[in-house]
Amino acid sequence: ATLELLNPNERIRDLLEGLGVAHLFATVKAEASDPEQLRQLETSEPANRVELARNCLEAHQLLMSINPENVGKFRDCTRFLAEDLKRLETQTPVPTDG
């Protein structure tokens, strides 16, 4: 499976190149879709702070594993996110089933 980016601008392409992940995407150039064919995506409940911190940490760790050049870029960030996640998890009660 390939992720397709529809008409990404130069800034987005440069960002993906800089992160070393551009090869994971296919760029598609196409005319704008007919608004009649578009539909709004269903959204879930907003993430809580613990989920958000966990997702941010996982995303940065993944970027570092995909491209070793990202380790220097995100080392401090991931350390901060891990500390923040640990702090948030000790403050926030974990929901239980039942």
User: For residue 93, is pLDDT > 80?
Assistant: no
Q: What is the mean pLDDT of residues 80-91?
A: 95
User: Alpha-carbon distance 62 to 96, whole Å?
Assistant: 28
Closest CA to 8 of 25, 33, 20, 24: 25
For strands 25-28 and 3-6, give the pairing: parallel
Mean pLDDT of the chain: 89
- Indicate the pLDDT class of residue 85, thresholds 50, 70 and 90: very high
Q: Spell out the domain ranges in the chain.
A: 1-30, 45-98
